[in-house]
Amino acid sequence: MKKYWFFVFIIFISFRSIGQQVSFLNDNKIYLDSLENVVKTNSSDSLRCLNSYKLSRFFLGTKKVKESKAYLDTANTLSRKSQFLTAVSQYYNAHRFLENNDIVGYEKALRSTYNALKKYNNRFAFRLRVVIIEEICIQLEQRNNEKESMQLLLKEAIPLAEKADAKEIMSDIYLGLAMTLMNRDLKIERQKARNYLKIAQDLIEKTTENSTTRERTKLTIYLTNAENETKLKQFNNAKVMLDKAFALLSKYPKSNMFNMYYFAEGVYYTDLNQHEKALLSYEKGIKSCLLLNDQFRINDLKNAQNDSYFALKKYKESKENLEYRIKHENFTLNRNQEYRKLARVYALLGDRKKACLFYEKHIVLNDSLNNSNFENEIVTLDAKFNKVENEKKISQLLAQKEKSELVAKNDKLKLLLLGLTAIILLISTVFFWKYYQNQKKLNTQKELNFKQELQTLESKQELAVSNALLEGEEVERKRLARDLHDGLGSMLSGIKLYMSKLSIDTVQNSPVIIENVNNQLDNSIKELRHIAQNMMPESLLKLGLEASLKDLCLKFNSNNLAVEFQYYPESNQILESKQIIIYRIVQELIHNVVKHAKASQILVSCSQSDSMFLITVEDNGVGFDSKKSNLFDGMGLKNIKNRVEFMKGKLDIDSQSQKGSVFNIELNIAN
Amino acid sequence: MNKPIKIVIVDDHPIVIEGITMLFSNSNDFEIVASFTKGLDFLKYSLINQVDIILLDVFLPDVNGIDLCKTIKQEYPKIVVLGMSSQSERSLVIQFIQNGASGYLLKNASLQEFYDCVKKAMAGEIVFSNEVKIIIGQPETSDFKKLPTLTTREKEILTLLSKGKTTQDIADELFLSFLTIQTHRRNILNKLGVKNVAELINLAIKERLL
């Protein structure tokens, strides 16, 4: 693999004129002459400048450093006159970084040139930009960043080449892509590479551009294709390609690219297991290299040759081959391999001593290589560690940032939530307030209605009570009329009869008659007094409720009936109209007891608080059923009930047969 | 022969004045010096200092006879006042006597009764016509009873109080208002002449009211 990579690397570099040796098909003299001619004779400074740069680069490729430097200086002086040329100069001067092994600076310079050239829409700028991309890609590939390299080529370089309408350059790019893919030596990628190579081949074969490098590129494509087909075991295709390459090469017998052809042919034969033929090819390649004094390629070819020796078990030749290479090898890594192989060859040849010697050399070199590898690894690891640390820091910072962002977000969310809650609260408060107001209104309305209803009811009740009272009064009047008519009336009628008898009769009987009349008059007066007192007791008007009630009780007090009267007044004066009603109630109650109860004791207790008048009348008489429904049918109790209701009071009757009766009455005396 | 007793009659009914004047007209011991239908007119009588006795109707249109009696006795203590009425209510009679009257007559009293009462009153006695005597003679229960009787409800409340119930408890139990029970409570204390419930319970136990 490694070996192959070198091969690719060399080719790659070679045609891009950056590597140590520039490949050429023809004598470059024509190309050089034309450029030098322009530099010397052309009146345009910019053309002279550009050509000077090209010459500088050419001489760098052919290792003529002095000439290269001279032309570079010339070009630099010329370039100062134009911005475009200044930008171009950056590219040609960037190579200095490579001389100082400053790869980073080199890449930086390339990229800044690339950006500076973006402004210019001429074909030269486009081409230069493609070249710059290709060089950046080489750097990327050396860092094993093939993916990015391919991306750059596909997305930047190809469109640019299209713009520049440079088929050869495009072909070159596709070739580069194919080589990158082949680098990994995987079948799938080689197949992809085959597609790219086909495009590259098509493009280069179709191009009509007159270019010094066209044929060279074509050859490189053929050889690369042959190589790829060989590795894909498509030997027929490979052979076609090799033939095409040979046909092309034969036009340029002085070319230094024969060795490449022979190398490819050798590989082709090796893979076909035709080692004798392969050896022949390699030998031809080496010869051609010796002519051009290209040690680098000789090593390559010899390396490939050695495998064939091994395959043919030509150990002696292999030994000589390896010893030659050890002598001429510059790469320690390769030399290490060679020591090992040589040790093996000696072992196979039976020279154990030499085998041991070279094996030891291999081990020593290997150890030192490993050490350096180890150191490199340590450095790499250190770098990695640092990178990881940095990444860790970055991730920490990121996490912190995220955290703070989260906190901020949370805060925001909280605030939002708070705000929302506040708004909801406000709304609900307003809602409830409104609701409350409405309810209040409704309640007030209801209350008003209720009050009105109550008032209506009350007035109805009052009306009913008043009616009842009026009715009661009517009944009272009837009784009074009967009393007057039956009692007083009849007595007065009697007196009148006596008196008429007196006027007619003789005077003899007059004393008796007068006596009778006198008695009758006495009775009449008593009757009248009785009636009047019943109607309205004088003491009530003159001395108040207590005195009149006391008189009332005393009037009924006798040997057979003890009437106890208790009165606990308060300073509040009761309206006379109410006093009369109270008096009537008590009067009626006592009348009832006297009339019906056959009691021996009556207790009349009256008391007064702020707005309340309590009447209790108890007796020990025969009692009645206070629960019966027609209790208030009789005139007496009905009157009492009406009067109590009129006074907005309560009537409570408790009586059982043979257990006396209790009347508790509460009256409202508030004015 | 003594000077006749000078009598003034105050009554709103002229016919009563006439009747009584007629009643005394045949006697030399009595002289009706003046008569008034209004109480306040009497107080303006010029010869009021010479009046010995006044027959005063209790019910007058302008002034209460009972109050007038008091005024007369305060200003002219020498004048003997006899109440006179067609009504015979005990409290009226008692109040009259308390205001300084020397007696109380019913208007339908006989001639003899009038004579006797006036004479006895002039002699300093307290006099009543026969019917009034009967009314006055009625015993007043509280007069000789030591403790007033408690009503059934009051007894209930007393029992509950003795069990330590509050006024509200009792109101709830008897389905009565707080105010009613409060009034009853006060009445019980008043009736039994005690100051508080403790004293009440003490008395109730002593008198076996519980």
With a CB cutoff of 8 Å and minimum separation 6, the contacts of A296 are: A10, A20, A21
* Partner B, chain A 435-454, Cβ-Cβ below 8 Å: none
Whether B105 contacts chain A with CB within 8 A: no
Chain A residue numbers touching B138 (CB-CB < 8 A): 554, 557
Whether B179 contacts chain A with CB within 8 A: yes
Chain B residue numbers touching A666 (CB-CB < 8 A): 180
Whether A609 contacts chain B with CB within 8 A: yes
Contact B187 A605 (CB under 8 A): yes
Chain B residue numbers touching A614 (CB-CB < 8 A): 180, 183-184, 187
The DSSP string of B45-83 is -TTGGG--EEEEESB-SSSBHHHHHHHHHHH-TTSEEEE
Round to whole Å and give the CA distance between B165 and B171. Answer: 10
Task: Supply φ then ψ for residue A647, to 5 degrees.
Answer: -90, 10
Task: Supply φ then ψ for residue A134, to 5 degrees.
Answer: -60, -40
**C-alpha separations of A569 from A193, A587, A605, A609, B160 in Å:** 131, 18, 11, 8, 24
HEC assignment per residue over A460-482: HHHHHHHHHHHHHHHHHHHHHHH
Contact B91 A607 (CB under 8 A): no
Chain B residue numbers touching A670 (CB-CB < 8 A): none
- The predicted structure's pLDDT at residue A11: 38
Angle between helices A295-311 and A2-15 in degrees, nearest 10: 150
- The predicted structure's pLDDT at residue A305: 81
With a CB cutoff of 8 Å and minimum separation 6, the contacts of B182 are: A609, B167
Cβ count within 10 A of residue B117: 26
Name the DSSP letter for residue A156.
Answer: I
Whether A525 contacts chain B with CB within 8 A: yes
Q: Which two tokens stand for residue A82?
A: 């134009």
Round to whole Å and give the CA distance between A337 and A306. Answer: 12
For A566, which of B89, B140, B191 is closest by C-beta distance? B191
Cβ count within 10 A of residue B8: 21
Section B188-198 average pLDDT: 88
Low-confidence residues in chain A, pLDDT < 70? 1-30, 43, 61, 209-212, 330, 505-507
Contact A618 B152 (CB under 8 A): yes
Give A332-373 pLDDT, tens digit per residue: 777 777 788 888 888 877 778 888 888 888 888 888 877 777
Q: Extract long-range pairs of A463-472: CB within 8 Å, 24+ residues apart.
A: A465/A642, A465/A645, A465/A646, A466/A646, A468/A638, A468/A642, A468/A645, A469/A642, A469/A643, A469/A646, A472/A635, A472/A638, A472/A639, A472/A642
In this predicted complex, what is the ipTM?
A: 0.77
Name the DSSP letter for residue B145.
Answer: -
Whether A406 contacts chain B with CB within 8 A: no
Whether B59 contacts chain A with CB within 8 A: yes
Task: Please name every residue paired with B80 in a beta bridge, in sequence order, or none if there are none.
Answer: B53
Whether A529 contacts chain B with CB within 8 A: yes
Whether A616 contacts chain B with CB within 8 A: yes
Q: Nearest chain A Cα to B193, which residue?
A: A568
Give B67-112 pLDDT, tens digit per residue: 899 999 999 999 999 998 877 778 888 888 999 999 998 888 888 8
Do residues A557 and A595 make contact, with C-beta atoms less than 8 angstroms apart?
A: no
User: Which residue, chain included where needed, has tokens 């322009």?
Assistant: A38
- The predicted structure's pLDDT at residue B170: 92
Q: Name which of A266-275, A285-294, B40-49, B120-129 the model is least confident about.
A: A285-294
Nearest of B194, B166, B196, B193 to residue B181 by alpha carbon:
B166
The phi-psi region of residue A17 (left if phi > 0; otherwise alpha if psi is between -120 and 50; otherwise beta) is left
Whether B141 contacts chain A with CB within 8 A: yes
Chain B residue numbers touching A538 (CB-CB < 8 A): 58-59, 85, 87, 89, 92
Q: Which two tokens stand for residue A145?
A: 């960043």
Task: Please give the distance of CA A392 from its chain centroid, rounded to a whole number.
Answer: 27
**C-alpha separations of A209 from A205, A278, B104, B135 in Å:** 10, 36, 170, 166
Contact B149 A564 (CB under 8 A): yes
Round to whole Å and give the CA distance between B186 and B179. Answer: 11
Q: Global pTM?
A: 0.47
- The predicted structure's pLDDT at residue A2: 36
Task: Please give the distance of CA B131 from its chain centroid, rounded to a whole number.
Answer: 15
- The predicted structure's pLDDT at residue A586: 92
Do residues A263 and A300 make contact, with C-beta atoms less than 8 angstroms apart?
A: yes
Q: Measure B1 CA to nearest chain A CA, in Å.
A: 33
Round to whole Å and give the CA distance between A365 and A336. Answer: 6
- The predicted structure's pLDDT at residue A497: 83
Q: Measure B3 CA to nearest chain A CA, in Å.
A: 32
Query: Which stretches does DSSP call E strand in A516-600?
Result: 562-568
HEC assignment per residue over A179-241: HHHHHCCCHHHHHHHHHHHHHHHHHHHHCCCCCCCHHHHHHHHHHHHHHHHHHCCCHHHHHHH
- The predicted structure's pLDDT at residue B144: 52
Q: How many CB pairs under 8 A join A and B?
A: 107
Gyration radius (Cα) of chain B, Å: 25
**C-alpha separations of B208 from A464, A659, B139 in Å:** 47, 21, 26
